[in-house]
Amino acid sequence: MKRIRRATSGDHQRKLGPDLVCPYLVAGQFFIYGVRPLICRLWGLVKAMRCPHGCEPEQWLSDEEARAMLARVIQL
């Protein structure tokens, strides 16, 4: 959250709307892209979190790889 606060000049209290669209997606641009959380970085790269628009990565991450990344972030 500290990185998001710095990137947004403190405007980090955006709420998820009823349409479940990320509150940091504005006019088709993810304006905190460089500081996005790991869960956002994994979106569309793990089959369990497929892109709803049909986009696919060159190579899927396995669930085990995603869990290992999440565990490492938690350790940090």
Bin 62: left if φ > 0, else alpha if -120 < ψ < 50, else beta: beta
Question: 7 is written with which tokens?
Answer: 């990137």
What is the C-alpha to C-alpha distance for residues 61 and 75, in angstroms, rounded to an integer? Answer: 20
What is the C-alpha to C-alpha distance for residues 48 and 31, in angstroms, rounded to an integer? Answer: 25
**12 pLDDT more than 80:** no
Question: 26 is written with which tokens?
Answer: 């504005």
**7 pLDDT more than 70:** yes
Q: What is the pLDDT of residues 17-31, one digit of tens each?
A: 677 777 788 887 888
